[in-house]
Structure formats: C-alpha cells, structure tokens
C-alpha cells in the first residue's frame, strides 16, 4: 500500500476485496488487526477519494491532524503551506511529491519516504477549486471526459473493499473507519459522504448520463450503508457530511418539476434508466439505516432532524415512479432478483414515510404534504392596468383604441392561462388520486410490529418496524385457527417461546411452499385448489344422491332375472342389471371425474404437507418404549448386551403444524381415493364412504378426532379391559351355560368357545346379556333356582360391563370434549382480555391508549411477528439492517428478548405488572 503507483494500490485493494467478499468474518478480523495501526491503508483511501473531491466547488477535506509534538520534517502539509516537489527530466505531465508518513508515538510505525506519482495535466481545469490541504497533497487534475472514468473505477474498487470489510455490521471495523489510533485521523465516513455529494454535483452539471458516475454513486451509498448500519456514531458523522442533502437530490430525479407560476407539478411520464432507479433504491436503503434507533438517548433527536430536512413529497413521488415502473414490467426489470430489490425498496421508502409520520404524530397525507394546490393567477384586468399607457387617460380616440387592443390581448392571455391552469390542475388532481390509491394498495401488504431492541450498553429501545409481506403469502384461516387453539398461554414468556416454535414450523412449511411455486405446473394446481375442493364435494354428494335414487332390488324393479350372487355369508344384489344406458353413462362419466379429482386431492395434500409429516406410529412407539424400559430396568444384563436398545428414541407428541403420517387425516384421504376407485368397479357401492370428506375440515369433526386422539391410550386400554371381561364371561358361559344358547331360534351360538365369545360380545354389548334365555334348551317348566343364579350372573354382567365399563368410555369422551371446550373458552377470554405479545391487560389500552382492538390488530399482531421472521429470512443476511440482524440473531438462538414483553409504545414503554405495582405501592406506604 505504500507503493507510489496508484494502480498497484488499487490492485491490492481488489485482491483484499476478493478475500472478504460475501462476509468472510475470519478475513475481516485478520485485516482489521493489520490496518488498525497502518497509516498507508488509510492514506491510500484518502488519496483516491481526494482526487474526485477536486471537482466540488466547495473545498472538502476529511483528514485531521491530532495535537501532539511534531516537527516540520514529520507532518503532512496543511492549507497554505504548499508542497515542495520537482519534476524530473523527461517525465512530462507528472508531479512527484515527497512526503514522510506520520508515525504516532508508541504505535510502532517507522518513518518512511513515500513517493506518490500521479498523472497531472500541465494546467489545471478552470473548475478546480483553490488549494486546500487535500489539493496540496494530491496535485492531480484528471480530464473530465477520459481520466475521470478511470479514477472513478479506481475509487469504486476502494469503495467495494470498504463495504466488504464492514459487511455484517462489523462494529470494530466501523469504528476504525471513523477514527484511527495514530497522530492523525482520516474520517472515511466523512470522506465518502463528501465523495457522494461531489458526484451528485458532477451528475447534475453533466447533461448526458454517465454510467460510471451512477455506478460509483451506488457503491458510495452501499459503502455508507455498511459503515452506518447499527452505529449511531457513524450515522451522526454521515449526516454531518451532508449525506441527507445528497439523498434528497438523488431522489429528485423521480419527481416532476413545478410550474414556475402555478407551482403545480408538471407530470412528465419519462421512465428513468434502470441503473439510476437502482441507485435511488440504494439511497432509500441508506435513509432507512440513518433512521435506525440504536441509541436510546440521541437517536430520537437524529430522527427528528432527518424528518425536518427530508423532502417527503419527493420520496412519495419516488414510490409512485417505482410502482409505475414495476407495473409496466419492462424488459429491464424482468430479472426476478432485480424486480424484488426494486419492489422491496419501494415499500421501504413508503414505510420510512409511515414511520416518520407516526413519530411526528401527524396524519400521513398531512405529513407528506398531499394537499391540492390552489394557485392564484394574476387577473388579466390587473395586467391590462399595469400595461396601460398614460395616454389612455386622454379622451382621444387613439387612446381608447390602444386601450381596447390591450384589453383584447389581455383577455386572450387570460384564456390561454386558464386553459393551461385547468389542464395542470386536472393532471395534478389525477396524480394525487393515483398516489392515494397507491397508498391504499401498499397498506394491504404492509405490516407493523414493535421490537424490543437491546443496545450495547444494555438499554432497551421500543422501536416500531414497518415491513412488506404479501397477502397471498399470509397464513390461511385454517392455519390461524390451529395456532390459536394449540399455542401455549400459561404466561407471557411461555407465549413468546411457543410463538417462536410455531414460527419455525410455519417457516419450514412456507419455504417448502415457495420452492414448489418455482414450478409453473404447481402454480396452476395450487391456484385451482379451492375450485377442485368444492367441485369434489359437489360430485360426492351428487353421486350418493344418484346411487340412492336408482339402487333397487332387481326382482322388484324389472322383469329380468334378479341375478344375485349367493355365498355362504351374504346375498349381494346387482341392481345395475336393469339400468338404462343413460344411467350407466352418468355413473361412469362423473365417477371417472370424481376419481381424477380424488387423485389430485391426495397428491396435492401429501406434496404440500411433506415437510410436516412425522413418520412414526405413536402407539407402536409407546409399546416399544415400554418394552425398552422394562428391559433396561428389570434385565440390565440384556440391555448391556444389546446396546441398540438404548438407541430407540422416546415417542414425542406432534408439535405445531406437524402431522403423523398414519393419523386420521392423511390415512382417510388415501382411503377416499381407494373408495372412489372401488366405486367405479362396484357401480357406486363405496361412494357412501366418501361422505366424511365433506366434514373433514369442520370444527366439530376436528374436535371429535382430537378428542379420540388425545385419549387414545385410555380408550385402547379400556377396550382391552372390556374384551377381557367378556372373555371371562364367555368361558363361564361355555363351561356352565352352553345349554342356554339356542342357535336354532335366536342365532345364539356356543358350540365352540370362539362362537360363545362372539355371541357374548354381540348380545352382551347390545342387549346387556338380556337376550340370552333364562331357560336352557329342553327345560321342563320353570325352575326358580336356575332363575336365581342366572339373575345374579346377568346382573353382575350388566353392572360390570354395561353400567361401569361402557360408561367409563362415555365419561372419558365427555370429559375430553368438556376439556376442549374449556380450552377454547380460555383461549377466547385470553385473546379478548390480554395482549398475546406484551401481556398487558385490555383495560390499560382502553384507559390510556387508543383502544385494545387497534393495539391487538395493528401494534402487536401475533401473525405480523411471524411474517416479520419470514420477511427477514427471505432476505440475504448481508442485506439486514440493525433491527433485522438483531431479531434474526435472537430468533436463531431461541431467545425472546426482541418481543416487547410488558411494553407498548402507545402506553409510553414499560408497563409494570399488577403484582409488581402493588408491591411498589406497599413498599411506599411502609416507608411513609
């Protein structure tokens, strides 16, 4: 870096840039340690930027010499001192400067002689400002047309390196770029801000667009973004460098010019070049970085200063221009990444205005100045009077004629002026209407949350965050219902932790869905999903009604042979033998469509829910885990021999949006497809089994499935217990009561124990064992003794099986439904009485805020926090600002500090719990 040839320094910077490209933190730290006390690195930056600063009409410098003992041989030249230099023979057009690099005391830097050789024309251009410490140090005046682009390219390499070094909000490098530990200081932030201001001046002076100037401006803005992100000190330094004025001028290119007389904007629909539009987007991104509240004491003042000097109306016109460009969808914005970048910054500019309007406590339209102008034009009569000649006061005919001509000309001018004014007012009114419509459209995809930002000194800042999230990507009503019904509501901390878990589950599902949307076929399938769903329900109902109306026993409906299939068990009628042709056509035509839609439904469901499936059977896993625990506890030697037993994992409940693959919902869909296929082969017999699909997504059906699933273990054990009791009674019946079973009259079989067991199950569960006769086969008359012990036997069966065991199952289901009802009531009560995010009661918002409903839906919307995580995850980590990076890091570490627990901006910040407030009051009373 100490080489006098600038090209070599630039090549070294380019090489370093490749090392730290894309946020190589290890290389960043290594370079940071090397350049912290290296003057050559910063002097090279100073030299490159200072060359461009010569084009400014106002002298700019960003090198400060710290007070300390120095001598004349060991210091940089300052303004007025000049530079001693000589031009060697044969080296025309080259000025060679001799300068000793500064060595700070105790910094370990040796004094060396650096030769800085830079090309220079024999005479400086006329626009070069007077000599300053910069121009005396860098005596280089490149030609505007040729050498300027070369220097801009070299400065661009330098800016790329600085951006990459500070990428990822590297606080240490950000600090070094502002101040170094040496006897002099080069404020790189101020230098780049001055560079940007100079480039804006050059761009405005040049009538033709320069791609190199625009590219360098974009790199300078990106450099300032990386230097200022999350760093209040650097933000303040950038504003001191007049960077806000540069931003206002950059965005001005999207604004219409004003009429000199009426002050009404003249709408000129000329699209900006795409590179200029992207530069403006970067300027908006820099503006957002400057508005970040990262210092609790001083950031609000910085925000107010920016809000005062920012040209709000220009920003709004920029939003409109970008929106019009995106709607036009020209060839230059067809690239998806470029399209998303421009769209994101359009929302970013709009959200900046929304945030500043909220901070100023003004209505949005009033804040940005969207008011219809009422220009006052000078009356033609006044013009005529002003232009009236003094001779007009005479009574001569010539004077009257001249005055008449003047009035006629004035009337013509008034007519033209009125026409122009009417057209201008009409265009402006139309423009304002379009802006209001645009704001309404952007509001639909705009969300707001409040983030609890913890600063480096452990102070919290409750900052509002606006962000875009398209309505089409939001959670469905079904997903919202699942979340509200199952999320943990024990405490505000538990809510926050569980909300993060649900967010991760939805994030996994959302990312998978976005991957599917990359396939055009899947877009069509998902777009027609709702139409397919309702058409499939309609077909299911129609086919069941059709089958219900035409199925009759053939022997009673036609003259043909009934043609029934006789088997040992069933008589299966074939009603289709006497159908007409149109009945076959209708059944097969709609049956095939039903099967195709069923196949579509099953494939779509399994493809969409693939990331949420759990490939295990809970009951089987529970049995395996029970056997594992028995072996581990009771037979330790076997457990040591077969170590693979310990590798069996414990069964876990499904979490958030997870679904067991072998649960009811996925399995029934497979059966639905099977029933649809079988119905075609059996002429509609299985369509009745497709009817539960209609109720699959209804709340009552889901509660039934949830109740059975929640108590599946108890129900299974009770069922096994009842079957065991029935087996006991079957054995007793076979042993001592087989003669009471009459297979001839009552179809009560007990020839074998199996027959007796099945008979006891059927008769016992349906009739409470009362269907078995109290007299045995062939009994001669009544016998009280037989009746007595049969009464005891039957009553015990009735009490144990019918009254107790079966009622236990009913009680379990009733208690489960009651539990589900209580959970729903508790969730609804919690949702209406307490904010889910901050945990503050609704009474506080009704008394001190703007109402609980507005706070719940606008300030602390539970779904907006989920969408914000999805928003920052959809971006590159290198594009995150300080707030987004903070939330992303906390969320990745399973921390909940970014949630505003017990805090609300509308209530002034921290709100104490009632218990804490009561304790404080009691303590105050005790002290008094």
SS3 452: strand
> What is the Cα–Cα distance from 451 to 359, expressed in whole angstroms?
15
- Evaluate whether 491 touches 834 at the Cβ level (below 8 Å): no
Q: How far apart are CA 884 and CA 897, in angstroms?
A: 13
Q: Tell me the DSSP string of 820-878.
A: HHHHHHHHHHHHHHB-TTT--BHHHHHHHSS-HHHIIIIIS-HHHHHHHHHHHHTS-GG
Strands 909-910, 184-186: pairing kind: unpaired
pLDDT in tens, 751-763: 889 988 998 888 8
pLDDT given at position 519: 82
* Mean pLDDT value of segment 549-560: 63
The per-type count for the chain, helices as H runs and strands as E runs, is 36, 15
Burial class (CB in 10 A: 0-12, 13-18, 19+), 241: buried
Computed over every residue of the chain, the mean pLDDT equals 77
Host H or E run for residue 396: none
Give Cα 539 to chain centroid, integer Å: 38
Residue 200 or residue 125, greater confidence:
200
Q: How confident is the model at residue 103 (pLDDT cuts 50, 70, 90)?
A: very low
Distance, CA of 430 to CA of 449 (rounded, Å)? 33
Please report the DSSP string for 301-340 in residue order.
HHHHHHHHHS-HHHHHHHHHHHHHHHHHT-GGG-SHHHHH
Q: Is the dihedral of CA 53, 58, 63, 69 positive or negative?
A: positive
**Which range among 604-618, 761-775, 819-833 has the greatest average pLDDT?**
819-833
92 φψ region: left (φ > 0), alpha (ψ -120 to 50), beta (else):
beta
C-alpha count within 13 angstroms, C-beta hemisphere, residue 885: 18
pLDDT at 699 > cutoff 60? yes
Packing angle of the helix pair 171-178, 147-165 (nearest 10 deg): 140
Q: Region 281-307: what's the mean pLDDT?
A: 92
Question: What does DSSP assign to residue 473?
Answer: G
452 bridge partner residues? 462
Q: Would you state the pLDDT for residue 477?
A: 87
Percent share of the chain, pLDDT over 90: 27
Instruction: Give the pair of three-digit tokens for residue 901.
Output: 């627990």
Rounded to whole angstroms, the Cα distance separating 753 from 234 reads 90
Res 261: pLDDT: 53
Residue partners of 263: CB distance under 8 A and separation at least 6:
373, 375
Q: Would the pLDDT of 71 be above 70?
A: no
* pLDDT in the model for residue 238: 92
Q: Are 515 and 546 in contact (CB under 8 A)?
A: no
Question: Quick one: average pLDDT of 700-708?
Answer: 85
Q: Which of 280-289, 357-366, 563-572, 658-667 has the lowest mean pLDDT?
A: 563-572
Confidence class for position 544, pLDDT limits 50, 70, 90: very high
| Residue 662 main-chain phi, psi, to 5 deg | -100, 25
CA 721 to CA 451: how far, in whole Å?
55
Q: Please list, in sequence order, all residues whose beta carbon lies within 8 angstroms of the beta carbon of residue 252, skipping any fewer than 6 positions away.
A: 311, 314
Q: Which helix (H) or strand (E) holds 447?
A: strand 446-454
Report phi then psi at 118, rounded to 5. -135, 140
Of the pLDDT bands very low, low, confident and very high (cuts 50, 70, 90), residue 551 is confident
Say what the pLDDT of residue 823 is: 87
Sign of CA dihedral 215, 218, 224, 229: negative
Q: 293 and 463 in contact (C-beta within 8 Å)?
A: yes
Terminal CA-CA length for the chain? 71
Which pLDDT value is given to residue 791? 85
pLDDT for residue 80 is more than 50: no
Run of H or E residues at 922? helix 914-927
Please give the Cα distance from 574 to 571 (Å, whole number).
Answer: 10
Supply angle C-alpha 574, 577, 579, rounded to 5: 115
Taking only the tens place, the pLDDT of each residue in 165-174 is 998 888 889 9
Give the model's pLDDT for residue 550. Answer: 81
Residue 556 has pLDDT above 60, yes or no: no
Tell me: the pLDDT tens digits for 810-863?
Answer: 999 999 999 989 888 888 888 888 999 999 998 888 888 788 888 988 899 999
> What's the pTM value of the predicted model, to 2 decimals?
0.78
Strands (E) across 588-693 are located at 613-614, 659-660
322: CB partners within 8 A, 6+ apart = 254, 277, 281, 342, 343, 345, 346, 349
For the chain, the helix, strand and coil percentages under 3-state DSSP, each to the nearest 5: 65, 5, 30
Give the number of residues written for the chain. 928
- Phi, psi dihedrals of residue 449, rounded to the nearest 5°: -135, 170
| DSSP result, 506-542 | HHHHHHHHHHHHTSHHHHHHHHTHHHHHHHHHHHHHH
d(CA 26, CA 167): 12
Structure tokens at 841: 């009661």
Distance, CA of 134 to CA of 51 (rounded, Å): 8
* More reliable by pLDDT, 478 or 887: 887
Q: Are strands 565-566 and 460-468 parallel, antiparallel or unpaired?
A: unpaired
Q: Give CA 601 to chain center in angstroms.
A: 28
3 state DSSP class of 487: coil
Which helix or strand (DSSP H or E) is residue 378 part of? none
CA 424 to chain centre: 41
Predicted confidence (pLDDT) at residue 207 exceeds the cutoff of 80: no
What distance in Å separates the CA atoms of residue 231 and residue 173, rounded to the nearest whole number? 11
pLDDT tens column, 230-285: 899 999 999 988 899 999 999 887 676 655 554 555 554 556 788 888 899 999 99
CB atoms within 10 A of CB 363: 10
Strands 909-910 and 903-904 come out as: antiparallel
User: 620, 702, 613: which is closest to 655 by C-alpha?
Assistant: 613
Any idea which residue has 């509001």 for tokens? 443
At 357-388, the pLDDT tens digits run 998 888 888 888 765 444 444 444 444 444 44
On whether the CB atoms of residues 251 and 353 are closer than 8 A, the answer is no
- Average pLDDT (211-231) is 92
What residues form DSSP beta bridges with 467?
A: 447
pLDDT at site 534: 93
pLDDT tens-digit series, residues 872-918 = 998 888 889 999 999 999 999 999 999 999 999 888 877 766 555 55
Q: Give yes or no for residue 590 having a pLDDT over 50.
A: yes
**Bridge partners, 566 (sequence order):** 571
Confidence of residue 134 (pLDDT cuts 50, 70, 90): very low
- The residue among 82 and 665 whose pLDDT is bigger is 665
CA dihedral 756, 759, 760, 761 (to 10 degrees): 120
Q: What Cα–Cα distance (Å) separates residue 798 from each residue in 722, 758, 885?
A: 12, 17, 69
CA dihedral 21, 23, 26, 32 (to 10 degrees): 80
> What is the rounded distance in angstroms from the CA atom of residue 685 to the CA atom of residue 91?
102
* DSSP per-residue codes, 60-102: ---EEEPSS---TTSS---TTT---EEPPTT-TTEEEEEEEPP
Residue 846: the pLDDT is 86
Q: How far apart are CA 700 and CA 696, in angstroms?
A: 9
Give pLDDT, residue 353: 93
Q: Give the C-alpha separation, 480 to 65, whole Å.
A: 62
């Amino acid at each position: 870096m100490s080489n006098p040839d600038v090209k070599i320094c630039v090549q070294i910077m380019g090489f370093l840039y490749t090392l730290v490209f894309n946020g190589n933190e290890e290389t960043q730290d290594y370079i940071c340690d090397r350049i912290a006390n290296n003057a050559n690195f910063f002097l090279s930056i100073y030299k490159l930027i200072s060359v461009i600063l010569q084009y400014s009409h106002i002298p700019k410098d960003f090198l400060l010499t710290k007070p300390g003992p120095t001598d004349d041989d060991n210091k940089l030249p300052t303004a007025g001192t000049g530079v001693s230099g000589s031009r060697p023979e044969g080296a025309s057009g080259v000025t060679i400067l001799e300068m000793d690099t500064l060595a700070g005391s105790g910094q370990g830097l040796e004094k060396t002689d650096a030769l800085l050789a830079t090309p220079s024309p024999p005479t400086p251009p006329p626009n070069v400002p007077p000599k300053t410490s910069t121009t005396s140090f860098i005596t280089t005046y490149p030609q505007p047309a040729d050498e300027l682009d070369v220097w801009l390219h070299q400065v661009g390499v330098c800016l790329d390196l600085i951006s990459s070094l500070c990428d990822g909000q590297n606080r240490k490098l950000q600090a070094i770029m502002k101040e170094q530990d040496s006897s002099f200081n080069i404020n790189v932030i101020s230098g780049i801000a001055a560079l940007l201001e100079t480039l804006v001046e050059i761009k405005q002076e040049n009538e033709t667009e320069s791609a190199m100037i625009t590219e360098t401006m974009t790199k300078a803005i990106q450099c300032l973004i990386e230097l200022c992100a999350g760093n209040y000190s650097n933000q303040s330094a950038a504003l001191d460098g007049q960077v806000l004025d540069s931003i206002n001028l950059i965005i001005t290119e999207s604004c219409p010019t004003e009429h000199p007389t009426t002050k009404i904007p003249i709408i000129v629909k000329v699209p900006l070049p795409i590179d200029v539009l992207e530069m403006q987007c970067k300027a908006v991104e820099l503006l957002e970085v400057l508005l970040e509240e990262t210092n609790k004491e001083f950031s609000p003042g910085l925000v107010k200063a920016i809000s005062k000097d920012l040209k709000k109306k220009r920003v709004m016109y920029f939003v409109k221009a970008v929106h019009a460009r995106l709607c036009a969808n020209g060839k230059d914005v067809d690239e998806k990444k470029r399209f998303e970048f421009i769209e994101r910054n359009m929302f970013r500019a709009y959200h900046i205005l929304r945030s500043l309007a909220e901070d100023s406590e003004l209505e949005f339209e009033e804040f940005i100045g969207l008011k219809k102008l009422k220009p006052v034009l000078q009356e033609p009569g006044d013009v005529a009077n002003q232009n009236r000649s003094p001779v007009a006061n005479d009574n001569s005919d010539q004077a009257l004629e001249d005055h008449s001509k003047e009035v006629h000309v004035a009337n013509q001018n008034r007519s033209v002026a009125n026409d122009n004014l009417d057209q201008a007012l009409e265009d402006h009114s139309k423009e304002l209407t379009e802006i209001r419509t645009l704001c309404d459209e952007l509001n639909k995809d705009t969300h707001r949350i409040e983030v609890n930002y913890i600063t480096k000194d452990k102070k919290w800042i409750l900052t509002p965050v606006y962000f875009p999230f398209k309505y089409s990507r939001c959670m469905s009503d079904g997903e919202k219902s699942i979340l509200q019904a199952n999320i943990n509501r024990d405490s505000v901390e538990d809510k926050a932790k569980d909300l993060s878990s649900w967010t991760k589950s939805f994030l996994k599902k959302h990312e998978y869905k976005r991957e599917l949307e990359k396939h055009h076929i899947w877009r069509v399938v998902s777009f027609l999903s709702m139409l397919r769903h309702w058409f499939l329900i309609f077909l299911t109902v129609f086919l069941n009604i059709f089958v219900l109306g035409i199925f009759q026993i053939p022997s009673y409906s036609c003259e043909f042979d009934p043609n029934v299939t006789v088997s040992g068990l069933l008589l299966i009628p074939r009603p289709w033998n006497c159908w007409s042709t149109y009945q076959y056509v209708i059944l097969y035509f709609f049956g095939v469509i039903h099967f195709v839609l069923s196949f579509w439904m099953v494939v779509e469901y399994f493809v969409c829910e693939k990331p949420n499936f759990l490939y295990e059977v809970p009951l089987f896993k529970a049995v395996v885990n029970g056997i594992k625990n028995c072996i581990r506890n009771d037979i330790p030697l076997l457990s040591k021999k077969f170590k693979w037993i310990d590798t069996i994992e414990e069964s876990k409940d499904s979490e958030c949006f997870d679904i067991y693959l072998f649960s009811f919902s996925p399995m029934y869909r497979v059966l639905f497809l099977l029933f649809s296929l079988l119905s075609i082969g059996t002429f509609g017999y299985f369509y009745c089994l497709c009817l539960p699909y209609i109720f699959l997504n209804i709340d009552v059906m889901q509660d039934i499935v949830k109740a059975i699933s929640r108590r599946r273990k108890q129900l299974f054990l009770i069922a096994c217990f009842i079957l065991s009791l029935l087996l006991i009674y079957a054995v007793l019946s076979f042993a001592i009561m087989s003669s009471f079973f009459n297979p001839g009259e009552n179809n009560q079989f007990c020839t074998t124990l199996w027959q007796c067991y099945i008979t006891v199950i059927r008769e016992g569960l349906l009739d409470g064992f009362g269907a078995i006769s109290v007299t045995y086969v062939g009994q001669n008359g009544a016998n009280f003794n037989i009746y007595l012990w049969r009464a005891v036997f039957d009553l015990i069966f009735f009490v144990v099986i019918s009254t107790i065991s079966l009622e236990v199952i009913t009680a379990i289901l009733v208690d489960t439904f009651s539990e589900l009802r209580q959970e729903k009531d508790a969730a609804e009560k919690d949702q209406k009485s307490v904010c889910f995010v901050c945990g503050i009661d609704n009474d506080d918002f009704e008394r001190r805020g703007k109402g609980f409903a507005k706070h719940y839906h606008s300030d602390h919307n539970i779904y907006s926090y989920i969408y914000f995580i999805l928003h920052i995850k959809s971006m590159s980590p290198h594009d995150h600002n300080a707030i987004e990076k903070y939330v992303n890091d906390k969320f990745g570490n399973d921390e909940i500090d970014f949630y505003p627990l017990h805090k609300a901006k509308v209530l002034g910040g921290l709100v104490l719990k009632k218990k804490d407030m009561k304790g404080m009051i009691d303590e105050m009373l005790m002290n008094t």
